């Protein structure tokens, strides 16, 4: 039975039975076969069980298992009932319509009398939203068929589901894509839902803070809309972790669907109202809006013609060796970074060069100095690793933070890059190393500990290093750059969203105005890009290329924000031509994952940087974002009376613009790198 177009079945298992203890003979269970599904629908994940035979006599399904205190049946509220025909009710889409009309109710145990609905059809199927799930109880190993019992947050206990064909663990794995599950300290058979890092929950709650209640409850919404807004808001507040990491766009869908309601006349809210809402919800996030229709807030600035740029071949082992003296010092670090920025590295060099790019090895160090450094760092690493390895079970019971870190790491490691050969399969040594490094990082920075997303940052680093100690210290250096993204107040994320808005408005104020008109001017759909540096937007091999280019810190500060601009600019025409609204924009951006050409985007981002650095009227705010401290000083000239403009460029930007070095062009000749960067007619080289 297929799901409707707006839903997606992510798990389906036949042969999942309910054993009813209320048959005519109390010593004999009635067995009802059914199908269990996990379904993504719009902004929710639904767990759904229904009998295999819809015409099953409901007298065989009387109550929950022997250890259950309640029974669940479909109850349709009078206001929601509709006079649909039986044919329509029997199709799957009609069943999906029941998601919004069915409620659970507790029912006292009967004495064996059958409960039959008026229409004679079985109504013992049940479904619930994953955000309502409190815990899952499992059977003891070796005790007959495996079964699971779902307990909801309002303490409703659903009938035990018996997996006669096994595979109950596959359901758990499927659910772990959306929620965090960990063993209860009191009973290892019970899996608690969302026992996550407290600071992470607070971080996401901070993005959806209490002042928003004032907006929802004020004059902005009528009574009907207020009801739905508060209903969805409570979903977010009680489970910000699942709602957020399960898909950030779904979070925003909850909010805006609540604000808009179902009245078509309210589908396009004034941008100023949406800006007010988001500025309250995300403290410190300033959103540019037009004061009145037809007037732009910022003055258009002519950035000049954007140059075409090309990328070179990846840096080879021979080129790397030529830039090193007899003792292993790098002769010209700036020149090497420039080559890496323009072409990346061949894979054979990454294990060595990434240590320099990430700051683990100093660029001016000798081989001997690096060897001694590795010895010291190895000792330091294993001392920290021993700290958590030597914690006894009794100690761990009294250390809730360490317990939470460990639980979340174990769950994340089991779902990080499992399609990559380095991490695939059970008992993979790569997974063990991933786990141990993340646990040791908790000892290195216990205040931050572990937050979901860190495993995404470590995975490519460990893949390249193939060494536990080197991967750890490179990860430490990377986390030094990314630390603010994962802090409780998420100040780094707020700052980057504001800076990205500043850059995009300069590049294309018309596109910004369009996004604002669709309540998307805050660029919240870029959150995942920024949080884990595009890790889930590009293929694994492309991420290796993208990260090493960004680690050169060329051609300016915050180059990753220009990459965001390049991606958005590439999608601008489709978004505007097809008149995408709020939901369509979010969906479109999410669906770009694994479809972006990394080399093309790097070319565009570099071209944007050159265009901005060559602009004589670059706004000060933009200059600060890019590390170019541009200031216009009005000083009367005695001869001309004209003003003088003083521009101070950051070291990375000036290095990029002034550095002249030979590189191999497409035709085999050697050209100046800067000439290649701004050649208008040259074609991009595709690395092999």
What number of other Cβ atoms are within 10 A of residue 642's Cβ? Answer: 9
Q: Are 360 and 470 in contact (CB under 8 A)?
A: yes
Q: Give me the residue label for tokens 């004589």.
A: 616
What number of other Cβ atoms are within 10 A of residue 224's Cβ? Answer: 11
Q: How many residues does the chain have?
A: 688
- Enumerate residues 6+ apart whose C-beta is below 8 A from 677: 307, 309, 310, 342, 606, 610
Fold (CATH) for 7-53+124-194 = PH-domain like (2.30.29)
- Enumerate residues 6+ apart whose C-beta is below 8 A from 398: none
> What is the reported pLDDT for 302?
86
> What is the reported pLDDT for 651?
52
Tokens (6 digits) for 217: 């409850």
> What is the reported pLDDT for 147?
86
DSSP type of residue 627? T
Distance (Å, rounded) from C-alpha 553 to C-alpha 555? 6
What are 547's strand-pairing partners? none
* Residue ranges of the chain that CATH labels 1.10.8.270: 346-481
> What is the reported pLDDT for 226?
39
Residues 86-104: b if buried by 16+ CB within 10 A, e if exposed: eeeeeeeebbbbbbeebeb
Count of alpha carbons within 13 angstroms of residue 336, beta-carbon side: 24
Residues 105-138: b if buried by 16+ CB within 10 A, e if exposed: eeeeeeeeeebeeeeebbbbbbbbbbbbbbbbbb
Q: Which of 503, 619, 620 is nearest to 567 (CA)?
A: 503
Angstrom CA distances, 385 to 204, 209, 329, 425, 469, stand at 30, 37, 31, 25, 10
3-state per-residue secondary structure call for 317-356: HHHHHHCECCCCCECCHHHHHHHHHHHCECHHHHHHHHHH
Q: Are 182 and 160 in contact (CB under 8 A)?
A: no
Distance (Å, rounded) from C-alpha 466 to C-alpha 469? 9
Distance (Å, rounded) from C-alpha 381 to C-alpha 383? 5
Fold (CATH) for 346-481 = Helicase, Ruva Protein; domain 3 (1.10.8)
* Residue ranges of the chain that CATH labels 2.30.29.230: 7-53+124-194
Spans of the chain, pLDDT less than 70 = 1-6, 20-30, 53-124, 141-145, 166, 195-299, 629-688
pLDDT in tens, 336-359: 999 999 999 999 999 999 999 999
Instruction: Give the start-end residues of each E strand in 468-594.
Output: none
The helix-helix angle for 347-357 and 333-343 (nearest 10°) equals 130
Distance (Å, rounded) from C-alpha 448 to C-alpha 609? 34
Distance (Å, rounded) from C-alpha 79 to C-alpha 422? 55
Q: Which of 568, 560, 567 is nearest to 596 (CA)?
A: 567
Q: Which of 189, 48, 201 is nearest to 125 (CA)?
A: 48
pLDDT in tens, 428-461: 899 999 999 999 999 999 999 999 999 999 999 9
The helix-helix angle for 333-343 and 651-658 (nearest 10°) equals 80
Q: Are 148 and 168 in contact (CB under 8 A)?
A: yes
Distance (Å, rounded) from C-alpha 60 to C-alpha 53? 12
Tokens (6 digits) for 543: 């991420």
What number of other Cβ atoms are within 10 A of residue 317's Cβ? Answer: 12
Q: Is 77 left (phi over 0), alpha (psi -120 to 50) or beta?
A: beta
What is the helix (H) or strand (E) element at residue 313, kind and residue range? none
What is the full DSSP assignment across 557-588? TTHHHHHHHHHHHHHHHHHHHTT--HHHHHHH
Tokens (6 digits) for 379: 């000792």
Q: Are 193 and 135 in contact (CB under 8 A)?
A: yes
3-state per-residue secondary structure call for 652-682: HHHHHHHCCCEEECCCCCEEEHHHHHHCCCC
Angstrom CA distances, 614 to 19, 157, 220, 607, stand at 74, 66, 45, 11
178 phi and psi, to 5 degrees?
Answer: -120, -25
What are 52's strand-pairing partners? none
Distance (Å, rounded) from C-alpha 270 to C-alpha 279? 15
Residues 550-579: b if buried by 16+ CB within 10 A, e if exposed: bbbbbbbbbbbbbbbbbbbbebbeebeeee
Distance (Å, rounded) from C-alpha 349 to C-alpha 677? 24
DSSP type of residue 624? H
> Environment class of residue 183 by beta-carbon count within 10 Å: exposed (0-12), middle (13-18) or buried (19+)?
middle
> What is the reported pLDDT for 528?
93
Count of alpha carbons within 13 angstroms of residue 552, beta-carbon side: 24
Q: Which of 72, 20, 51, 64 is nearest to 122 (CA)?
A: 51
């Amino acid at each position: 039975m297929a799901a409707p177009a707006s839903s997606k079945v992510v798990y389906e298992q036949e042969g999942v039975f309910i054993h009813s203890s209320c048959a005519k003979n109390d010593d004999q269970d009635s067995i009802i076969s059914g199908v269990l599904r996990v379904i993504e629908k719009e902004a929710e994940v639904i767990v759904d069980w229904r009998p295999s035979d819809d015409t099953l006599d409901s007298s065989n399904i009387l109550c929950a298992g022997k250890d259950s205190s309640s029974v669940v049946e479909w109850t349709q509220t009078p206001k929601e009932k509709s006079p649909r025909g039986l044919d329509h009710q029997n199709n799957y889409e009609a069943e999906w319509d029941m998601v919004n009309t069915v409620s659970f109710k507790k029912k006292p145990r009967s004495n064996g009398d059958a409960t039959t609905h008026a229409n004679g059809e079985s109504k013992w199927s049940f479904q619930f939203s994953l955000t309502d799930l409190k815990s899952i109880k499992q059977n003891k190993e070796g005790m007959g068929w495996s079964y699971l019992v779902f307990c909801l947050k309002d303490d409703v206990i659903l009938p035990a589901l018996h997996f006669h064909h096994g595979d109950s663990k596959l359901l758990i794995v499927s659910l772990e894509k959306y929620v965090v599950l960990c063993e209860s300290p009191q009973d290892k058979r019970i899996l608690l839902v969302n026992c996550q890092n407290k600071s992470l929950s607070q971080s996401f709650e901070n993005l959806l803070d209490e002042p928003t209640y004032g907006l929802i409850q004020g004059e902005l919404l009528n009574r009907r809309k207020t009801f739905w807004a508060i209903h969805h808001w409570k979903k977010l507040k009680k489970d910000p972790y699942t709602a957020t990491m399960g898909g950030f766009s779904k979070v925003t869908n909850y909010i805006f669907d609540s604000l808009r309601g179902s009245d078509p006349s309210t589908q396009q809210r004034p941008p100023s109202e949406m800006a007010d809402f988001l500025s309250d919800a995300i403290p410190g996030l300033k959103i540019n809006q037009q004061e009145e229709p037809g007037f732009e807030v910022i003055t258009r600035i002519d950035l000049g013609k954007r140059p075409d740029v090309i990328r070179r071949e990846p840096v080879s082992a021979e080129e790397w060796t030529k830039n090193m003296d007899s003792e292993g010092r790098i002769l010209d670090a700036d020149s090497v970074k420039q080559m890496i920025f323009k072409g990346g590295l061949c894979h054979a060099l990454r294990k060595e060069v990434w240590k320099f790019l990430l700051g683990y090895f100093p660029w001016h160090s000798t081989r001997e100095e690096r060897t001694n450094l590795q010895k010291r760092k190895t000792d330091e690493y294993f001392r920290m690793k021993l700290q958590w390895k030597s914690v006894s079970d009794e100690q761990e019971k009294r250390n809730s933070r360490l317990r939470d870190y460990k639980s979340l790491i174990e769950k994340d490691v089991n779902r990080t890059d499992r399609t990559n050969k380095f991490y695939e399969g059970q008992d993979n040594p790569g997974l063990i190393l991933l786990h141990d490094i993340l646990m040791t990082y908790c000892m290195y920075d216990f205040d931050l500990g572990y937050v979901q997303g860190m495993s995404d940052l470590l995975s490519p680093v460990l893949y390249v290093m193939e060494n536990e100690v080197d991967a750890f210290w490179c990860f430490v250096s990377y986390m030094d750059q990314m630390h603010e993204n994962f802090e409780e107040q998420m100040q780094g994320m707020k700052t980057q969203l504001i800076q990205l808005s500043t850059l995009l408005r300069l590049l294309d104020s018309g596109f910004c105005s369009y996004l604002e008109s669709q309540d998307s001017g805050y660029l919240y759909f870029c959150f995942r890009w920024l949080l884990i540096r595009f890790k889930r937007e590009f293929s694994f091999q492309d991420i290796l290329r993208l990260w090493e280019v960004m680690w050169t810190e060329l051609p300016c500060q915050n180059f990753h924000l220009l990459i965001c601009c390049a991606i958005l600019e590439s999608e601008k025409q489709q978004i505007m031509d097809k008149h995408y609204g709020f939901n369509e924009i979010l969906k479109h951006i999410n669906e770009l994952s694994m479809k972006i050409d990394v080399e093309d985007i790097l070319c565009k981002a570099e071209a944007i940087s050159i265009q901005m650095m060559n602009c004589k009227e670059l706004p000060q705010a933009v200059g600060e974002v890019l590390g170019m401290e541009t200031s216009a000083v009005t000083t009367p000239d005695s001869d001309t009376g004209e003003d003088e403009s003083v521009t101070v460029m950051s070291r990375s930007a000036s290095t990029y613009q002034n550095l002249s070095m030979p590189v191999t062009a497409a035709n085999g000749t050697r050209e100046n790198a800067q000439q290649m960067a701004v050649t208008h007619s040259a074609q991009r080289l595709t690395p092999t």
